[in-house]
Amino acid sequence: MRAFAMLVSVLTVVTACSPATSAERAPTAALTAGHTSYPLTLDNCGVRVTFDRPPQRAVSLYQASTEILLSLGLADRMVGTSTWFDPVLPEVASDSAKVPRLADNDPSLETVLSVEPDLVTSASAHTFTPAVVADRTRFAQLGIPTYQSPSVCTGADVHGADVTRSAPLQMDTLFREIAELAAIFDVQDRGRELVAQLKRRLSVAPAPSMPHPTVAFWFSGLRAPYFAGCCSAPGLYARELGAANVFADAREDWPEVSWEALADRDPDVLVLADLSRRRVDGDALDTKIAFLESNPVTRNLTAVRHKRFVVLTGSELDPGIRQVQAVERLAAGFASIGPAK
């Protein structure tokens, strides 16, 4: 990882909107030694956003975005959250309880507007679409700034809710998001400390006990399962730990694949998402394992025969502050499995 010092620079205000691709977009503000100088203007996922003062009534529309704001100690400046997949991180649970939950899933635009936000954030492409909450243009028309997690658009082509990546997600993208949000809210000291903590944890994650294991990440779905493609959070975890994602040739974040395709690639380890939600068959861990062990296509997979399963939550498979925790848990899972037999 590049040193966090590369993020710590003098505040720059955008004077022109560049037609650069999403892979070339860079933050236009980072942490400074003192307070943020307002107005602050960011080029955020191709949208130019200006803040005249620190937000006081933020709404976060996705759990990953919510947990970053809470980790920066911003609960007192939040008036709503939505789109939850798992229980909140324990270390911010008490702060989270102070913030109204507008919806467990996706709220309507009217619900968001009812709390009079002065900032709306999201860590997902789908929430900022007209069919779900509203697109960013609509919020701008209403005079409400928005912030999209850079993990959605950096090195990616975004069409509505669909994200196709042209470059692998990097851990630095998370650090940039923390830096930008810390600058927006004028809490740079908290941002620096949070990033330092995350980097310290990464530096001590153990290496896999099996050399260069192959791995597949199963999110959900039984008939048409979703497995991780090359370049979002699971691909990042594989690279951090020297593993190889067997579906690294897929550019979509979560492409549908066939069980026959999984059998052909026969990974050493299966990473299984245990989703707190129960929307479709295959969300629950026990359902996944029962299927793998009974289906004639999957029951003879190497990982199934040797029970080489590592379990992560759904939120740990999304880009966000849980990326570091996911690397830690995946490393521990590899260590418990031991060398390939």
pLDDT of the residue at 160: 76
Instruction: Name the domain boundary from 151, 179, 202.
Output: 202
* Domain, as residue range, for 112: 4-202
- Report the alpha-carbon distance of residue 330 to residue 269 in Å, rounded: 11
Are 195 and 272 part of one and the same domain?
no
Q: Residue 5 — very low, low, confident or very high, per pLDDT cuts 50/70/90? A: very low
Instruction: Name the domain boundary from 179, 202, 225.
Output: 202
Is residue 29 a contact partner of residue 180, using CB atoms and an 8 Å limit? yes
DSSP one-letter code for 107: P
Q: Residue 209 — very low, low, confident or very high, per pLDDT cuts 50/70/90? A: low
Are 232 and 193 part of one and the same domain?
no
Are 73 and 182 part of one and the same domain?
yes
- Report the alpha-carbon distance of residue 121 to residue 139 in Å, rounded: 11
- Report the alpha-carbon distance of residue 284 to residue 62 in Å, rounded: 21
Q: Residue 69: name the closest of 171, 183, 198, 178 by CA.
A: 178
Residue 60: give its domain's CATH number: 3.40.50.1980
pLDDT of the residue at 206: 72
Q: Residue 26 — very low, low, confident or very high, per pLDDT cuts 50/70/90? A: very low
Rg (CA), the chain: 20
Are 318 and 197 part of one and the same domain?
no
Rounded to the nearest angstrom, the gap between the alpha carbon of residue 218 and the centroid of all alpha carbons in its chain is 16
pLDDT digits (tens, 9 = 90+) for 87-143: 999 999 999 999 999 999 999 999 999 999 999 999 998 999 999 999 999 999 999
pLDDT of the residue at 9: 34
Are 165 and 233 part of one and the same domain?
no
pLDDT of the residue at 33: 57
Residue 224 carries which side chain, given as an amino acid letter?
A
Are 150 and 285 part of one and the same domain?
no
15 has pLDDT over 80: no
Are 323 and 249 part of one and the same domain?
yes
pLDDT digits (tens, 9 = 90+) for 232-285: 999 999 999 999 999 999 988 899 999 999 999 999 999 999 988 776 778 899
Residue 301's contacts (CB-CB under 8 Å, 6 or more residues apart) are 262, 263, 266, 267, 270, 292
Query: 156 — phi, psi (to 5°)?
Result: -145, 155
Q: Residue 286 — very low, low, confident or very high, per pLDDT cuts 50/70/90? A: very high
Are 197 and 60 part of one and the same domain?
yes
| Total-model pTM | 0.86
Are 173 and 213 part of one and the same domain?
no
Whether omega for the bond prior to residue 39 falls within 30 degrees of 0, making it cis, is yes
Query: Comparing 161 with 286, which gets the higher pLDDT?
Result: 286
Are 60 and 147 part of one and the same domain?
yes
Are 130 and 247 part of one and the same domain?
no
44 has pLDDT over 60: yes
Domain count across the chain: 2
pLDDT digits (tens, 9 = 90+) for 293-316: 999 999 999 999 999 999 999 999
Q: What is the DSSP string of 93-138?
A: HHHHTTS-B--SSPPPHHHHHTT--SEEEES-TTTTSTTTS--HHH
Instruction: Name the domain boundary from 202, 230, 261.
Output: 202
215 has pLDDT over 60: yes
Are 303 and 189 part of one and the same domain?
no
Rounded to the nearest angstrom, the gap between the alpha carbon of residue 272 and the centroid of all alpha carbons in its chain is 17
Return mean pLDDT, the chain: 88
